[in-house]
Amino acid sequence: MPEGMEKNTVLMNRYELGRTLGHGTFSKVYQARSLVSGENVAVKVIDKEKVLRVGAGMVDQIKREVAVMRLIRHPNVVQLHEVMASKTKIYFVMEHVSGGELFSRVLASGRLREEPVRRYFHQLIGAVDFCHSRGVYHRDLKPENLLVNDDGNLKVSDFGLSALRESRRPDGLLHTACGTPSYVAPEIISRKGYDGAMADVWSCGVILFVLLAGYLPFSDSNLMDMYKKISKGEYKSPSWFSLDVRKLLSRLLDPNPKTRITIDKIVEHPWFKIGYKPAAMAAQPHPHSSDTLKDHLHGCAIRSNGEDDEEQQPANAMKPASLNAFDIISLSHGFDLSGLFEMGQTTKRHNNVHELFVTGKPASAIVSKLEEIAETEHFKVRKQVDGMVTLQGSKEGRKGQLTIDAEIFEVAPSCYVVEVKKTAGDTLEYQTFCNKDLRPSLTDICWTSPSEEDLSSHQCRTCHR
């Protein structure tokens, strides 16, 4: 167990830890039980100090993993329930998949029969297709990262090496070489840039081969010789592969990503179509290009041992959103998960210019002040749920009407952070508005910059003007 943590430790009065399920360099995963629902879950415990020693790369990987897991809600993807944090640890509370790795089933039997493999492949392609539709590329698909639950359903896990669509360079391609050598696509090896979706399709082809054959299509004791085979697509199918499987594999393991089969065509392939039933999906909002990392993390509630009952408000009252664990942690300069809290500076995130302010005034006072500013500057005001206020300019600028979102977050009682960001219009007009109108008008409700210590302890300083 991590330092200071023993078996049957209770986290945040919510989860009782049990046996160790696995461990890595920076984390351990435990089976746990929810004290609220009695549900079995898996808790990934990350040592913050170890992560910080490694540097920004590891921090980015954790940011990416959480953002992606919050973004992907699919029956065949391991679900992240919530994120909790202490001063030294970060806790991911995830769906517990009791059946273990799919790879262990291959090892136990040597190879799997075609019918169960087809069912697993149906679920794998469905999950990967859904990820791609949400702008997520896994980049490390392999049997070890595919889990199986008690019902025999596949669950894709481990998004630590994944990439979001926004990570692409101006050429529209990803350039970070990553993945497991035996499963990596040839275009990644060439280091000339690659399409994340087509790279995932290649890995799915290798997985299909491994499940049916019991061994890798590309294997060599010399890594460079193996890469040569991968680059040329040189492999040999065993005699028990059916003709339709061979044809599908030849399209999946095409070394040219431009002619490689797409997921749309995989679904239409004769071998794949047998018994195929798309996963039943609950209605989900589609992410917009303006979504920030904070948006993806928004559902991860921070938990503490204190009371969390909320004072009842009128139905039409503006209710601020609560900052989650990763929003709070991001205020530490040594572990900046989002770059959101750069007070008094104008920054760009996902093409949105934004600023942040902090105040001790309640949400109603913040909204009133924003309405006052809007009226003076001829903005229309639209209140939304969860602490969002939208200000829309009444006149056309160089790039249309200037539109600004102000989102209010409650850090602690009497401590609120407000994110103000441009969502439409000209950036120069937005900056002028902030410098000449917004900041000067906010001084009378005691705006100030939060210190790292203040927010990590969930306290706001008294404002001295």
* Among 385, 386, 390, CA closest to 404: 390
β-bridge pairing 321-322 and 400-412: parallel
Kindly tell me the number of DSSP H helices and DSSP E strands found in the chain.
16, 17
Rounded CA-CA distance 419/340 in Å is 8
Rounded CA-CA distance 447/373 in Å is 15
Tokens of 279: 């996963």
Cβ atoms of 426 and 420 closer than 8 Å: no
Cβ atoms of 423 and 352 closer than 8 Å: yes
Rounded CA-CA distance 253/345 in Å is 48
Asked about 426 being catalytic, the answer comes back as: no
What DSSP element (H or E) covers 203? Answer: helix 196-213
Catalytic one of 140, 158, 195, 200:
140
β-bridge pairing 163-164 and 321-322: unpaired
What is residue 433's three-state secondary structure? helix
Rounded CA-CA distance 453/432 in Å is 32
Query: Per-residue DSSP letters for 11-73?
Result: ETTTEEEEEEEEE-SSEEEEEEEETTT--EEEEEEEEHHHHHHH-HHHHHHHHHHHHHHHH--
Longest Cα–Cα distance in the chain: 80
Q: Binding site for ATP: what residues are annotated?
A: 44
* Cα atoms in the 13 Å half-sphere on the side-chain side of 143: 23
Separation in Å, CA 221 to CA 224, 225, 227: 9, 8, 11
Q: Binding site: what residues are annotated?
A: 44
Cβ atoms of 246 and 223 closer than 8 Å: no
Catalytic residue annotation: 140
